[in-house]
Amino acid sequence: MIDRTKSLLTAVVLGLACAPALAETPLERGSYLVNGIIGCGDCHTPRGKPPGPFLSGGNKQMGGQAVTANITPDVETGIGGWTDEQIITALREGKRPDGSTIGPPMPVRDYRAMSDDDVKAVVAYLRTVPPVKNVVAKSQYKNPLPASYGPPVGHVPNPPADDQIAQGAYLAGPLGHCMECHTPMGPEGRADMENRLGAGGQDFRLPNGVVTSANLTPTGLSRYTDAQLKTIITTGKRPDGTEITGPMEVSLYAKLTPKDLDAIVAYLRSLPPKG
């Protein structure tokens, strides 16, 4: 009897000691990702001043060929009728429940590497967004879409919790697309991740000219301290008083936790220098 009480007590004490004080729920994680570094709303919330209802779709992309989908839980016009598995397949494999392919502005190639935990967290959060009835036009592509973006994704683990650089690579790659913009195009019309990862030099057309992405390898960033680099990423302001312009959404990165921001900086510092 005494033994049993003792072991129960031990279990309670151990349980308390082991429970992380501020464990993030999947819903909180999903909200952090969708409203922060992933920024689904960047494409899926109707543009305008003020913007339209959150995630209700209808923005044109690719010169009007693609129209972003309504991804609110409205059953008729959004994705409210899809199962969790069907939404996960849409995100990581670019397939709708009817088997059709989702067009390339949707960053499926990046999302293939989204971990099982994170993709479930994103779905948990999407379920809580207010449903909006909004019929959007169908995308009409000039060239046929690929039948698939690759073999079935299967199981994707989280980056190891004790590996800061792996955490940073995951944030700056599949989730944040930093490297997608900050790597020059290769011969196949895709960012040349293999040879020129982070070297910058990709051009973005703006209404008033062209802006070129910066070199994020140590060649480009060694002139900044970690603190300066974090200020640039989260506010767009450089130490010399100039501000970055163009497509980089610093308002999303302003919401990064200090731990995630540290991981991104550690990862960028670890990149092989590229001229």
Binding site for ligand HEC (CB under 6 A): 38, 40, 42-44, 61, 66, 68-69, 71, 79, 87, 90-91, 96, 102-103, 105-107, 122, 126, 139, 172, 176-178, 181-182, 204, 211, 213-214, 216, 220, 229, 232-233, 238, 244-248, 253, 264
- Least gap, CB of 11 to ligand HEC (angstroms): 39
Q: Is residue 130 classed exposed, middle or buried when 0-12, 13-18 and 19+ CB atoms within 10 A define those classes? A: exposed
- Least gap, CB of 83 to ligand HEC (angstroms): 12
The nearer residue to ligand HEC, 9 or 185, going by C-beta atoms, is 185
- Least gap, CB of 232 to ligand HEC (angstroms): 4
- Residue position matching structure tokens 């009480």: 5
The nearer residue to ligand HEC, 25 or 212, going by C-beta atoms, is 212
- Least gap, CB of 233 to ligand HEC (angstroms): 5
The nearer residue to ligand HEC, 113 or 244, going by C-beta atoms, is 244
The nearer residue to ligand HEC, 20 or 275, going by C-beta atoms, is 275
The nearer residue to ligand HEC, 6 or 190, going by C-beta atoms, is 190
The nearer residue to ligand HEC, 9 or 242, going by C-beta atoms, is 242
- Least gap, CB of 187 to ligand HEC (angstroms): 21
- Least gap, CB of 275 to ligand HEC (angstroms): 14
